[in-house]
Chains A and B, each alone.
Chain A
């Protein structure tokens, strides 16, 4: 079915299984096949997923690369062809200061295509190299807006999250993306390219046996953010590395290579287009600091959201005792498993709270 609003209006939300959402969060986006229904009998079909009749489950199909001659020139051709699909529309790129989006920016500049830049920046110590790249690349675009991440930390503005049909972790990053969408509006950006998927196509192993390819370009798309945050601002989000032609070209060039977490291959092949700093160095800042501060700031709101969820569902998962336990953990240990549980709980409470705006009378 296209929408489950009627089911939600009939009260399907009362039957939610919070533990299933926690399970799905732990599994992660690369294991969506193993997701359990959070609302009984309902599994969301994310773009690109397929139904497997023999197993009776949803599957995330692996990409099937085509064998072809590939060269750096063909990377340029694939990029030019992708950009050309957007004709005269105003192109923007997310300016993170990392390698993947910088390659997109460098390609646009090399191809002589005009573009604007929008990004989040912060004065935090760990982001000092990203900041330097952002300032450098900001000069390459026609215009640019760098927003202060400190004003839009993860888990901020949770009560402003719009209604959505199914709980989603991306709701926790609503504030920063909403601010970026508004910045796109201010600059008149119609199409926003992101570096999503660069971590996969540049860092994952590319087996010589093409049938063993494990790439899943459909997971490079953040459909929750695209639909609920960017689309209302008239912005189409395009993950550059989800393009079939681009993946085929990169796959053929990298075939036979093992994992390359520091993306040395990508740094080398784009060396003539990128700032020297990105070619020679492999620095990559961690987002933990932002997440920890975001959660600490949001703690009072999180308590209110859990209370509201408890009042709505009477599920012990949202009880005051449970939230005390959840937030009473040592949040400064920066351990992934601790945060995943919190993210799952908060995104579920945010979903219920947003839902209350429409379905609860």
Chain B
């Protein structure tokens, strides 16, 4: 899974995501950035929709997945959560090995939410998004995982946009977060 940085400049501060440790670095900076330059087309296209959310489509066609159907998927979910807590880079590496078992990211996310229900989901945005990236059949060709910051706070969030759809029906906060990094599967791999 590749990652591209999407640096943000605000009030003379440059916010830049460190792609191995998963940290947001801040330093003073003059001028503005043109962040669309040199981005992979898949990221560029999806970023444009993220910046113009009314261009997105609605997630209508999905089936509620059966949480009991695969024991190994449950184990994978729990493992991913643990690894995300331990290491950002390792989690991203593990999610690079795709397990495309769900038709789309919505079904993957609903499965993940059923596996670990309740308040704890508030702190699981990154493993949830990685899970969707790894297990959705459509993500490889049409999905981007964004990592964003809600400026000026240090609050961060991860979410997915796949095939012009924000697939998580329960995520009502993604709109506030400005992307600082995008993870995607390069079309050449």
Interface residues of A (CB under 8 A from B): 125-126, 128-129, 132, 261-262, 277, 280-286, 288-289, 292-293, 296, 332-334
Contact = CB atoms under 8 A, between A and B. Distances in A.
Interface of B: 51-54, 56, 58, 150-155, 172-173, 175-178
Nearest to B8: A125
Nearest to B51: A128
B153 A334 contact: yes
A309 B155 CA distance: 33
A288 B150 contact: yes
Nearest to B58: A280
5 contacts: A277-B54, A284-B175, A286-B150, A288-B153, A334-B154
A282 B172 contact: yes
Given A289-B152, A334-B150, A334-B153, A281 B176 contact: no
B175 A132 contact: no
Contacts of A126: 150, 175-178
Nearest to A124: B151
Closest 3 CB pairs of A and B: A334-B153, A126-B176, A125-B178
A281 to B, nearest CB: 6
B140 to A, nearest CB: 26
Given A280-B58, A281-B54, A125 B151 contact: yes
B175 A333 contact: no
A132 B175 CA distance: 14
A339 B40 CA distance: 41
Nearest to A261: B172
B154 A332 contact: yes
Contacts of A281: 53-54, 56, 58
Nearest to A331: B153
Nearest to A133: B54
A132 B51 CA distance: 12
B172 A284 contact: yes
Contacts of B153: 288-289, 292, 332-334
